[in-house]
Amino acid sequence: MAEYENPSSSQPTSNSEQPAQNPDSNNKSDIVQKIQELGQTNVAEMENTNIHSITIVGQIEGHMQLPPQNKTTKYEHIIPQLVAAEQNPKIEGLLLTLNTVGGDVEAGLAMAEMIASMSKPTVALVLGGGHSIGVPMAVAADYSLIAETATMTIHPIRLTGLVIGVPQTFEYLDKMQERVIKFVTRHSNIEEEKFKDLMFAKGNLTRDIGTNVIGTDAVEFGLIEEVGGIGRALQKLNSLIEEQKQQNGEMLQ
């Protein structure tokens, strides 16, 4: 029995007969991917800027993974970025923008300590809110700004979930709270007693103790250096970069 042979399959297809790939379609697919992953159509390449920007948004996630519907900032994502920014010779400054409700205390303090220990100039800008453990992260930078309508919530350390009701648990909470107080007062101009007064104030927050500090008040208390936005933040960061260059030049001489 003879087999049917398709004449078209036996003849090789020339290069001219193959459909040409449309470069526009590749560009469109790249743009769509960027929109899906980053929410923007164009990302500044590393070699085009001497400033690295890191955003702290949503809830700061610690050792426990939060539900998928929560917008979170994971410390295992931020810490490698800080290390890379410190090591990259093309990066001369770090801009930190915050709009966070707070979250895990140890994770927030870990990131704050890394920001504070960087050798390159750092500027923090609080937009919307820099609440709870976001306060130490905001003051960890060399210079901090806050938007006029932004707020910062200062309250005592709290635990959620199962708590073992023994004196050691409350002692641990007290020591952790003291770590936060010492860090904030060491990296800002606010006095320790004033910060404690804001932390333990009654009647300012519903069903809680603490204080909600708005932009100008944060500057007045010495928590933040200046009220400003993105333009002023970049201007200050560039000036700090220039100052460091001049200092390094004088040291070389």
Q: DSSP letter for 46, please.
A: G
Which residue in 52, 131, 144, 155 is the catalytic one?
155
Which residue in 131, 132, 144, 188 is the catalytic one?
132
In 3-state terms, the chain is what percent helix, strand and coil (to 5)? 45, 20, 35
Structure tokens given for 193: 């007693």
Reply yes or no on whether 53 is catalytic: no
Sign of CA dihedral 16, 19, 21, 25: positive
Which helix (H) or strand (E) is 165 found in, with range?
none
Structure tokens given for 225: 């250096």
Reply yes or no on whether 132 is catalytic: yes
Q: What are the start-end ranges of the E strands in 110-193?
A: 122-130, 143-146, 151-154
Q: DSSP letter for 17, please.
A: G
Q: Is 142 exposed, middle or buried (0-12, 13-18, 19+ CB in 10 A)?
A: buried
CA distance linking residue 112 with residue 109, whole number of Å: 5
Residue with tokens 């641990």: 172
Phi-psi bin for 39: left (phi > 0), alpha (psi -120 to 50), beta? left
Which helix (H) or strand (E) is 99 found in, with range?
strand 93-103
Cα angle vertex 112, ends 108, 116, to 5°?
A: 175
Residue with tokens 């007693």: 193
Q: Which residues are designated catalytic? A: 132, 155
